[in-house]
Copies of this chain bind each other. A is one copy, B any other.
Amino acid sequence: MAETDVLAWRIDRGRLERSIEELGRIGATPRGGLTRLALTDEDRRGRDQMVAWMREAGLRITVDRMGNIFGERAGSVPGLPPVMMGSHVDSVPTGGRYDGQLGVLCGLEAIRALNEHAVRTRHPVTLVIFTNEEGARFQPAMIASGVMAGKIALEDAYNARDRDGIRLVDELERIGYLGPEPCVARPMRAYLELHIEQGPFLEEEGLSVGVVEGIVAIAWSRLTITGVQDHAGPTPMRIRHDALVAAAEVVAGARRIATEIGGDLVTTVGTLAVTPNIVNAIPGRVAMSIDMRDPRDAALDRARDMLDELVRAACAREGVTYELEHYWRVPCTAFTPDVIAAVERAARATGARFHRIRSGAGHDAQYMAAIGPTGMIFVPSHEGRSHCEEEFTAIEDIEDGANTLFLAALDLAERA
């Protein structure tokens, strides 16, 4: 069979669409979104559904100590490392039906297409589902690929607690996904992750596929401001030390940092909690998060310095004390040239309109890039929206992305 014939192979769009539909029902919200927080009952049902489909596709299932699920399609040459495809099935609260889920389903569809064409590959092809990618329930995000890459200690991950104080390891056990396999780096031919872009660029330029070159640097900080809780009525303005007034200045200042540094820097205060949070009490305490990202590590360093000064000045002005922790930082990630090239060849072969792009969001691919050759494929997000119920990607674009993933994986795994 000539090489050109292989490049004409396609995934089954109808089957993929039905799987997206079916998996999307688990944890579905009334307004078309998804709430499937990591290691909840919804997450377990999502995992169970995936495992059932992976078994049907003939994959050999293993689960590691972080609950990561692997489904291997054997290669023809013993001992060769696998081509891995994967993503996650957990979501943020009232998130969308595409973030994460699309990556594992397109990977599954690629394997189903390999089966359908009865193709043998020299390397194994492995589908992987990572635990707690979102970081919405347990922090930090991408905790399980982080453990795999040796960047996060297994014990720290196990002791991560959700808002109710429940430990990650206890939930892993409860839902039946505390596996026996070590969660460690292993040789791999490549890791490929298809994901929604979560930004507006592909749609704005009328493209269906993004060939991802890397991921921006990300810094997460946690700020706790302590003022003086007091009655909102009889306490004159002159003696107030209002934690929320200082916090508001930090919110405004974080926006200003992005404007001043410019370029692709983004800054977000995503969480803010007030204590005691009642109408007639001056806030005594505010806890908040600051998320900053930039494709340039140096710009992120500068932003962090500006944040330090901003917080210091805002809190001094209001006469409040604070604790500022820069608790998570991942540097810029550059994906592997030969994997990027394979994705690009595949995108071209499918006839997709594509160009190269950088990811503004963290993905498990970030940690996987520390283990071996890694690349990503983006499909457009309507209006750039994600982490919300309105998240949407057209099936035509998903089809282009899935075919790109399929052909790139086949290329890297090498027909036997």
Please, what's the 1-or-0 string for A282-303, where 1 marks a CB less than 8 Å from any CB in chain B? Answer: 1110000101010000000000
* Separation of A26 and B204 alpha carbons in the complex (Å): 62
Chain B residue nearest in CB terms to A215: B233
Is the Cβ of B252 less than 8 Å from the Cβ of A199? no
Supposing A245-B255, A251-B245, A252-B252 touch, asked if A231 and B276 sit within 8 A by C-beta, the answer is no
Is the Cβ of B237 less than 8 Å from the Cβ of A248? no
Contacts of A233 in B (CB 8 A): 198-199, 216, 218, 266, 291, 293, 359-362
Contacts of A76 in B (CB 8 A): none
Choose from B135, B277, B386 the contact partner of A231 (Cβ within 8 Å). B386
Question: Which of A149-157, A171-179, A267-275, A407-415 lies at the interface?
Answer: A267-275
Chain B residue nearest in CB terms to A389: B229
Contacts of A340 in B (CB 8 A): none
A41 within 8 Å of B (CB atoms): no
Is the Cβ of B274 less than 8 Å from the Cβ of A279? no
Is the Cβ of A264 less than 8 Å from the Cβ of B236? yes
Choose from B229, B269, B270 the contact partner of A388 (Cβ within 8 Å). B229
* Separation of A233 and B248 alpha carbons in the complex (Å): 21
Choose from B198, B235, B283, B360 the contact partner of A199 (Cβ within 8 Å). B235
* Separation of A387 and B275 alpha carbons in the complex (Å): 12
Is the Cβ of A141 less than 8 Å from the Cβ of B280? yes
Most chain B beta-carbon contacts within 10 A, residue among A139, A200, A248, A266? A248
Q: How far is the CB of A63 from chain B (nearest CB, A)?
A: 26
Contacts of A20 in B (CB 8 A): none
* Separation of A388 and B264 alpha carbons in the complex (Å): 44
Is the Cβ of B266 less than 8 Å from the Cβ of A236? yes
* Separation of A338 and B42 alpha carbons in the complex (Å): 67
Choose from B216, B232, B276, B388 the contact partner of A266 (Cβ within 8 Å). B232
* Separation of A247 and B244 alpha carbons in the complex (Å): 11
Contacts of A92 in B (CB 8 A): 276, 278, 280-281
A80 within 8 Å of B (CB atoms): no
A239 within 8 Å of B (CB atoms): yes
Q: How far is the CB of A276 from chain B (nearest CB, A)?
A: 5
* Separation of A234 and B252 alpha carbons in the complex (Å): 20
A350 within 8 Å of B (CB atoms): no
A130 within 8 Å of B (CB atoms): no
A28 within 8 Å of B (CB atoms): no
Seed contacts A198-B235, A232-B387, A247-B248; 13 additional CB < 8 Å A-B pairs: A198-B234, A232-B266, A232-B270, A234-B384, A244-B251, A244-B269, A245-B255, A270-B279, A271-B277, A272-B277, A273-B274, A279-B289, A280-B387
4 tightest Cβ-Cβ pairs between the two chains A and B: A199-B234, A234-B360, A248-B251, A233-B361
